[in-house]
Each structure stands twice: as structure tokens, then as C-alpha cells.
Copies of this chain bind each other. A is one copy, B any other.
Amino acid sequence: MNEAALKTILDLDRMVHEPARLAILTVVAAAEQVEFLFLLKVTGLSKGNLSVQAQKLEAAGYVRTTKGFRGRIPVTSFAITSEGRKALASYHAQIRALLPKLPKK
């Protein structure tokens, strides 16, 4: 942990750093396509919060939203964009830098 790494803490991408959105992004990054209700279950977020945070991620260009129907029932799906993948990767790099090195076991 050096002084440069310290300052990067304050530069963390808040869009990614917020736990609700980090959870969403993490799931969306792992699959090609995820549905609203699936996200609802695995994240444990409330519907309202999930809806709002997903919209923010979309506005940021980190996810793409697709609306369709299964039969006659509406289904909203999300996919990560390449920008989103990039943002998540650099977020990972930043927080990795602030973690103490693991002792070689």
C-alpha cells in the first residue's frame, strides 16, 4: 500500500463501487444475458432498487437492456457492454491494489 494507490481510492468509479450495482454488474458479467427476475433472486435487492440501479448502469453505458415477451408476459433482460466489462475490470484492478498482499501460505 503506497501513497499513489491511496489516492486512487478516491478515484474509484462510484457507478461500480456502489454495492447494489456491483452485485448487478458482477452477475451480468458472468452470463451472456440475465433476466430481471433472475437478478432479483440472486442479488436479493428489492424490485424498485433493482430497477433504478439497472437504469443507472444503462445510462452509464455499462449494460444494455432488452425488453421482450415470454408468451404474453413482459421480460426485461440485461447484458454487459464492452464498456461495462472494461469498467469492472479496472475497478477490480484498483481494489486489488489496495489489498494487502496475501502471505504465501
Q: Which residues of A contact B (CB under 8 A)?
A: 1, 3, 6-7, 9-10, 12, 17, 19-20, 22-23, 26-27, 30, 42-45, 92, 95-96, 98-100
Residues of B within 8 A of A12 (CB): 19
Taking a contact as CB atoms under 8 Å apart, the answer to whether B95 and A10 are in contact is no
Q: How many chain copies? A: 2
Residue among A1, A19, A20, A42 with the most chain B CB within 10 A?
A19
Task: Tell me the interface secondary structure of chain A in the complex.
Answer: helix
A33 CB to closest chain B CB, in angstroms?
Answer: 17
A73 CB to closest chain B CB, in angstroms?
Answer: 25
Residues of B within 8 A of A19 (CB): 9-10, 12, 17
